[in-house]
A and B are shown apart, each in its own frame.
Chain A
Amino acid sequence: MKRAITERDIESLARDGKLVVTRDMVLTPAAREAISRKGLSVTYAEDAPPPVAPAAQDEISRVIQQVLAEELARAAAPAAAAPPPPAPQPPPERIPEAAARDTRVGSVGTECLQRVLDCAPGQPSGERAVVTVVGENRPGIVSRISAAVAECGGDLADISQVILDRYFSMIFIVNLEGLSRTNTSFRVFKERLQDEAVRIGQVQVLVMHEGIFKAMHEV
């Protein structure tokens, strides 16, 4: 579950002019501005030398390449041939470049690669909502809305924030997979956020499934 880090949280989290941002944090744009204003240095948790990172990375790419090689070999094999047994010899270290660039229609290789890219870490493939908050700026709005999101089981994936004079406009992208865990329907999730907006006062919250944006803007 991610939590939104606002401008106010910066003070309490910073130690000796340094701020460590872990994977479960989402910095709001205002918080980012405050960081640069205060001249804090930011360390991302994954920047710290992870114990097995390079090796793990190699392992992942090796597995991907192995899968690709197998799939490509299967696609190239005659249709009548029975499913080939596991390749006796070790898979090639690298996919030959020609095969990697294979763009034949229905090429298993490219499809497979696409699937891998789609499932990049931190980008769950489930449903998402776009939550837009507009209104008069005052402290606590981000934390209250994000607390309501978390309460319903939603997970903040990203935040965009614009402040103009007294007004602000904020967009949250929320992963909805966790809603089922708290047994919350989309409608209840939406009502919960709108109730919170009423309690905050002078702000309007719009909750829309991402499907509408994809439908209207992707050719």
Chain B
Amino acid sequence: MFTSIKEIHETIRMIEAEHLDIRTVTLGLSLLDAPHGDVNALCNFLYEKIHSRARRLTEVAAAVEDRFGVPIVNKRISMTPISIVAEGLKEIDEYVAVARVLDKVAEDCGVDYIAGYSALVQKGATTGDLNLMNSIPYALAATRRVCSSVNLASSRTGINMDCVRLMGQVIKELAGRTVHASGCARLVVFANVPEDNPFIAGAFHGVGEPDAVLNVGVSGPGVVLNALRRLKRQGQFDRLSDIAETIKKMAFKITRAGELIGRHVAEELGPPVQFGIVDLSLAPTPAIGDSISDIIEEMGIESTGAPGTTAALAMLVDAVKKGGTMASSSVGGLSGAFIPVSEDAGMVAATLRGSLSLAKMEAMTAVCSVGLDMVAVPGDTTAETISGIIADELAIGMINNKTTAVRILPVPDTKPGDVIDLGGLLGQLVIMPVSDFSSADFIRLKGRIPPSITSSRN
């Protein structure tokens, strides 16, 4: 037979019992041909173009899911950064109108999020970029499906501290305009943002991309966790190389499943849609057993955040990348492991136990794929302090030539230790304590932090 009975059972177990799923199929659309200057013409164009290209996405994804038996959890759309598309607009209200049209088209296409209300300002901001950033609190508060991201730094250009300062204020403003600061879950700031990331909220369709691409984000912390547990039961859990091997094999299988699904969805959507990449990030969900934290603890860390956590996470992420790149030549996006605190039941538990702090999270982000993700802080945290947290995180990315990001929720009227349930995939927020010492004078300094010496590579 072509595949052994054991392999058939393994696949079924991975899907039925261990939460193997395709986390997202994201259709990236170029909007570079949009008309400029007139908000009515722009809104009509955006609705028509996105609707015509994406209206079959959920139907096609459902058919492919049916065929292969692998659940596709989310269907999403990413777009050319709206700051570029809407560069000619003058008023904040016009930007908000654009956001509302995007929200409507996302709803009509049956997708839960549309991402790309974005700006790329790593070196400097155009008038349109500034308008878009200033409109974010109003645009996200007026919509439910629109996601926004801003790239504030890169290894080549350094960190645009003027915009870091601005985004601290934007995040504070947005937190006050949405219940429990939930709008901030749709806003992420980056260093070295990838242009083909399928994961919300940081997805957008890069200007170097073709007309329409289908990118896939896989999942599978539960699969890795159970593989390690089996290794333990077999009494083979005493060598790090065996653990790394096991993770690699699982990452290989997960990635293969992702690529298969992605190629079929792209093929059935038909031209001009082409398959883009598989983002092989391990993405946790609040479901029990679908947690990155549980993997770290399975490796022998009593509670995530204890000394050794960063090393364990580094090994996990590296093994995932090695297995994934062996499986597919189309690996892209963020690829590694996500550690969104609220979306990972194990991380929530570790925070409540007091083992996981903001400082330890920052260290962990130096070795995993993203950054401070879904971190909640007290509502009285100042805009300057938030900018300081962002600057620290982006500095890690800028110096180490990697993507880092911050998705932070300053939840009004909360204090450290409070728990807020956002529901669904967003999970439970535990308010983390923030240093009381000020960084305001540093944040007020104007201009850019110059890029590191490693940027000079030509």
Tell which of A132, A210, A218 touches B12, judged by Cβ atoms closer than 8 Å. A132
Tell which of A132, A187, A211 touches B66, judged by Cβ atoms closer than 8 Å. A187
Assess whether A211 is in contact with B260, with CB atoms less than 8 Å apart: yes
Min CB–CB distance A131 → chain B (angstroms):
10
Given A132-B8, A210-B2, verify A216-B66 contact (CB < 8 Å): no
Question: Which residues of the partner chain B approach A158 to less than 8 Å between Cβ atoms?
Answer: 1
Question: Which residues of the partner chain B approach A213 to less than 8 Å between Cβ atoms?
Answer: 2-3, 7-8, 11
Min CB–CB distance B18 → chain A (angstroms):
13
Question: Which residues of the partner chain B approach A217 to less than 8 Å between Cβ atoms?
Answer: 3-4, 7, 10-11, 253
Question: Which residues of the partner chain B approach A4 to less than 8 Å between Cβ atoms?
Answer: none
Min CB–CB distance A211 → chain B (angstroms):
6
**Of the 9-residue stretches A73-81, A107-115, A144-152, A201-209, which lies at the interface with chain B?**
A201-209
Docked complex: A136-188 residues within 8 A CB-CB of B: 158, 160, 169, 171, 173, 186-187
Give complex CA distance A93, B2 in Å. 34
Closest to B66 in A: A187
Give complex CA distance A171, B11 in Å. 13
Query: Is B256 an interface position by the 8 A CB rule?
Result: yes
Query: Per-residue 0/1 for B1-36: is the Cβ within 8 Å of any A Cβ (1 yes, 0 no)?
Result: 111110111111000100000000000000000000
Closest to A212 in B: B68
Tell which of B2, B11, B63 touches A216, judged by Cβ atoms closer than 8 Å. B11
Query: Is A130 an interface position by the 8 A CB rule?
Result: yes
Give complex CA distance A17, B3 in Å. 35
Query: Per-residue 0/1 for B42-82: is the Cβ within 8 Å of any A Cβ (1 yes, 0 no)?
Result: 00000000000000000000010011111000000000000
Question: Which residues of the partner chain B approach A216 to less than 8 Å between Cβ atoms?
Answer: 7, 11, 253, 256-257
Query: Is B294 an interface position by the 8 A CB rule?
Result: no
Question: Which residues of the partner chain B approach A207 to less than 8 Å between Cβ atoms?
Answer: 69
Give complex CA distance A208, B5 in Å. 14
Assess whether A171 is in contact with B8, with CB atoms less than 8 Å apart: yes
How many contacts between A and B, using CB within 8 angstroms? 64
Given A215-B260, A217-B11, verify A160-B63 contact (CB < 8 Å): no
Assess whether A190 is in contact with B66, with CB atoms less than 8 Å apart: yes
Docked complex: B216-274 residues within 8 A CB-CB of A: 252-253, 256-257, 259-260, 264
Assess whether A171 is in contact with B66, with CB atoms less than 8 Å apart: no
Assess whether B257 is in contact with A212, with CB atoms less than 8 Å apart: yes
Assess whether A187 is in contact with B8, with CB atoms less than 8 Å apart: no
Assess whether A186 is in contact with B259, with CB atoms less than 8 Å apart: no
Number of chain A residues whose Cβ lies closer than 8 Å to a Cβ of chain B: 24
Tell which of A160, A208, A218, A219 touches B69, judged by Cβ atoms closer than 8 Å. A208
Assess whether B256 is in contact with A160, with CB atoms less than 8 Å apart: no
Give complex CA distance A190, B11 in Å. 18
Query: Is A214 an interface position by the 8 A CB rule?
Result: yes
Assess whether A206 is in contact with B69, with CB atoms less than 8 Å apart: yes
Min CB–CB distance A133 → chain B (angstroms):
11
Tell which of A160, A171, A208, A219 touches B68, judged by Cβ atoms closer than 8 Å. A208
Give complex CA distance A212, B8 in Å. 10
Give complex CA distance A209, B2 in Å. 13
Assess whether B259 is in contact with A215, with CB atoms less than 8 Å apart: yes
Closest to A132 in B: B12
Question: Which residues of the partner chain B approach A206 to less than 8 Å between Cβ atoms?
Answer: 12, 16, 69
Question: Which residues of the partner chain A approach B11 to less than 8 Å between Cβ atoms?
Answer: 208, 212-213, 216-217
Give complex CA distance A14, B7 in Å. 35
Question: Which residues of the partner chain A approach B256 to less than 8 Å between Cβ atoms?
Answer: 215-216
Question: Which residues of the partner chain A approach B8 to less than 8 Å between Cβ atoms?
Answer: 130, 132, 171, 213
Min CB–CB distance A143 → chain B (angstroms):
21
Give complex CA distance A187, B5 in Å. 24
Assess whether B67 is in contact with A209, with CB atoms less than 8 Å apart: yes
Given A212-B257, A215-B256, A217-B253, verify A186-B3 contact (CB < 8 Å): no
Docked complex: B307-339 residues within 8 A CB-CB of A: none
Closest to A216 in B: B253
Closest to B7 in A: A217
Assess whether B253 is in contact with A212, with CB atoms less than 8 Å apart: no
Assess whether A212 is in contact with B260, with CB atoms less than 8 Å apart: yes
Question: Which residues of the partner chain B approach A215 to less than 8 Å between Cβ atoms?
Answer: 256-257, 259-260
Docked complex: A1-33 residues within 8 A CB-CB of B: none
Tell which of B5, B7, B260, B264 touches A160, judged by Cβ atoms closer than 8 Å. B5
Question: Which residues of the partner chain A approach B5 to less than 8 Å between Cβ atoms?
Answer: 160, 171
Give complex CA distance A213, B16 in Å. 14
Give complex CA distance A90, B57 in Å. 59
Question: Which residues of the partner chain A approach B260 to less than 8 Å between Cβ atoms?
Answer: 211-212, 215
Nearest 9 interchain pairs by C-beta:
A208-B69, A215-B260, A212-B68, A215-B256, A216-B253, A213-B3, A217-B7, A209-B67, A216-B256
**What residues make up the interface of A, taking CB atoms closer than 8 Å to B?**
130, 132, 158, 160, 169, 171, 173, 186-187, 190, 206-219
Q: A132-B8, A171-B5, A214-B2 are in contact. List 8 more A-B contacts (CB 8 A).
A: A160-B5, A173-B1, A186-B66, A187-B66, A206-B69, A210-B2, A217-B10, A219-B252
Q: Please name 12 pairs of A and B residues whose Cβ atoms are closer than 8 Å in the assembled complex, sorted by A.
A: A171-B8, A186-B66, A187-B66, A190-B66, A206-B16, A207-B69, A211-B264, A212-B68, A213-B7, A216-B257, A217-B4, A217-B11
